[in-house]
Each structure stands twice: as structure tokens, then as C-alpha cells.
Amino acid sequence: MTWAPYILYGLPHSLYTGKSRSYLRKQGVRYVERTPAHPVYRDEILPAIKRSIIPVLVCPDKSIVQDSVDILDYFERRGAPVSARPPGPRQLIAAHVLEIYGSVGMTRHAMHYRWSYADQQAEFLKDAFAGRGEVMGRMASYLPALGVTPETIPAIEASYLRLLDILNAHFAEHPYLFGGQPSIGDYGLLGPLFAHLGRDPVPEAIMKQRAPRVFRWVERMNAPDLDVPEYRDPPDGYLPNDAIPETLRPLLVHAAEELFPELTDKLAFLARHVAEQGCRPGEPVSAKPHQRMIGKVVTTFCGAPFESGAAPYTMYLWQRITDDYAAMDAAAQASVRALLDACGLSAFLDAERPFRVERRDHIEVWG
């Protein structure tokens, strides 16, 4: 038997590594995790992917997959034993929405609770970042563009407590978002809820005391098995009949209230940019691979104004919703439409997106 044919470059406190690691464990994939400080990352990975970023998966055939979404897709295409894509149309689209909420919406909560409270958890962060002050400084410098400002912080904290209450009530009934099997929505939410909010001392204490069921779900997501001993009749797989549990609707409404108008404001900016610059298919979205934001947009978070960085990558996530929706038959589309309408999420289907974002050679390019 060959041991550990996959290598995952990542770190314990990294949001997107946490999401990918949890997925590898649930699939029973044999892997070893290495720090990006490893010489092979510097000598072989960095020249291939052209920017310092984690997670990076190196496959047995030596091919490289960067990006947590692409890592999950890589295994889904090969037939994952515990697929993260629910077969039901409503569950699938709701899972996409929560994937976006975890990746785009919740980086704000995650980065706030890590860096605004840096003094109260200094030893922990220093250890995690191996005392590298310049990396810590760079991470903390992202806060304003993520919408963490004195004006938004009260809304971010209120939002986080409300999210914990919604999830705590949901996990009292169901082990995962859609029943007995984790979906791309679970993995998307796990990124922030594990790496930052479920580990850094200040937010971890809030989670454990206010929402013990959420803390248990974080443990469950990191277990190699389904880890459901506290449920009397743990469901087998996703809930039948494409059911959306009642306890999940408040979560979708919560995500809608926070994702919009920010996403539509960013879309309008990016559409203008593409039209004005005459961006051509296949062209990288930014001048340098490490540059993710290509401009600033004035938008609001829960009514509080802030200037947000606009990253084309967000549209790469959004178009996954419309691509899957477009592939459905009319009855499935109608059931998805009714759910999104009821939860304030129909802009995901209705907003006109006159361009695409694809990934080629590990970076985002215009489609």
C-alpha cells in the first residue's frame, strides 16, 4: 500500500485550508499536510501557481490544484464517496448560497474576531503565525476592504451572535445543514467557523458558551466519520424529497440580508470595468496574480456604509449557482425559484451578469 499519495499545503489557522482538510477527511482521502514554509512549496509550487496562497493540493500524478472550491470539485468529478453536492435542486442551490456566504460574507466576521481582538489573543496568534509580524500586519491590513470599520463592527458582532443562534437551533435537530451528510454549504461555512471563529481564543469562547451545538458541528465536520452520537435516529444522507428544514430558512434569510446589496454593487462595478477596459476572454483579471481586488466599491453592510474591495473571484462562485440552475428542468427550476424568492435571494438568478470569470493555470481569467 502506498501511503499518503496526496499532499495538502496549508496551515491550521487558515480558513480555506480548514474547508479543504475537512473534505479530504470525510472522503477518506489519504493525504499529508505540509506548511507552505516547506522548501518544496517555495521551489516547486510557487513557480507553478505564481502567488503565495494556500490551500494547494498536489495529486499523485503531481498535478496541482489550487483553490478550495476547485479542490472539492476535483474529487466530486472523480466520484467522491460522501458527495458534497446534494442531488435535490433546492438543497443544491441553497448549499451554493451558503458556500458563498461562508467565503464572501463571513470572512468579515472571521477577520474581525481575529484581528480586532489581537491584543487579547496575542500569544495564540504569535504562535500560529510563527511570530512573523509582517504576515500578521498584512492580514490585519485587509480589515477595511473587508468592511471591518468602526461603523460596521457593531453590526458584524450582532450578525455573528444571530448567526450562532440560528445555527444552534438548526443543529439541535440536524447534524448537518441538509440532514445527515455535509454539503458544499457545510464546507463553505466551516472555513470561517473553524479556522478563526472556532479556534482563536476570543471567538471560540463565545461559540462554546453561546452555541454549543455549533461547536459540536465544527468538531463533527473535522471528524473522519459522520460523528453523530447525540442524535437518536441520525439520518442517512441528505433529507429526502429535497426538503429544506424549517430551521434552515432563517439562515438563508440571514445570508440574503448580508450578501445584498454588496454582491449586486460589486457586480455593477465589475460589469462596468469589463465594458470600459474591453476585457477579453482568457485575459487574467488583474495585472499581478496576487492582486485579487481590482477596484473599490461603495456599498453597505446591514445598512452601514463602507468601501469594499471588488474581487472577480466572487463572480466565479456566483456563476456556479446560475450554471447549475440552467442545467435543471423546468419543474426543478420552479422549486428553486420559489425558495430563493421566499428567502430574499432571487437576485442570484435575476441580476444580469454580462461576463464570466474562469480559472486557468491557477488564476482567475475573464471567461
Ligand X SMILES: N[C@@H](CCC(=O)N[C@@H](CS)C(=O)NCC(=O)O)C(=O)O
Is residue 217 at the binding interface for ligand X, with CB under 6 A as the rule?
no
Q: Does 45 bind ligand X (CB under 6 A)?
A: no
Amino acid of residue 98: L
Reading the block at residue 266, the C-alpha cell is: 460589486
The helix (H) or strand (E) run that includes residue 57 is strand 56-58
Residue 71 and residue 55: Cα distance in Å, rounded? 9
Q: Applying CB under 6 A, which part among 10-18, 196-204, 226-234, 235-243 lies near ligand X?
A: 10-18
Options 16, 75, 113, 269; binder of ligand X; rule CB under 6 A:
16
Distance CA 148, CA 154 (A): 10
**Residue 93 or 357: which CB sits closer to ligand X?**
357
CB of 52 to ligand X, least distance (A): 6
Q: Which is nearer to ligand X, 66 or 159 (CB)?
A: 66
| Residue 115 binds to ligand X (criterion: CB under 6 A) | no
User: Is residue 99 close enough to count as binding ligand X by CB under 6 A?
Assistant: no
Count residues binding ligand X (CB under 6 A).
11
Q: What is the DSSP string of 213-241?
A: HHHHHHHHHHSSS---TT-SS--SEEPGG
Location of C-alpha cell 499545503:
9
Nearer to ligand X, 179 or 312 (CB): 312
Separation of alpha carbons 131 and 143, rounded Å: 20
- In this chain, which of 7, 8, 9, 15 binds ligand X, going by CB under 6 A? 15
Supply the minimum distance, in Å, between the C-beta of residue 191 and ligand X.
8
- Rounded CA separation 16/69 (Å): 9
Residue choice 23, 194, 313, 318 for contact with ligand X (CB under 6 A): 313
Least distance from C-beta 68 to ligand X, angstroms? Answer: 4
Q: How far is the CB of 54 from ligand X (least distance, A)?
A: 4
214 belongs to the binding site for ligand X (CB under 6 A): no
Task: By CB under 6 A, tell whether 14 contacts ligand X.
Answer: yes
67 vs 258, beta carbon nearer ligand X: 67
Q: How far apart are CA 176 and CA 10, in angstroms?
A: 25
Report the distance separating Cα 104 and Cα 325, nearest Å.
Answer: 21
Instruction: Count Cβ neighbours within 10 Å for each residue of 70-98 and write b for 16 or more, e otherwise.
Output: ebbbebeeeebeebbbbebbbbbbbbbbb
Q: Which residue ranges make up the site for ligand X (CB under 6 A)?
A: 14-16, 52-55, 67-69, 313
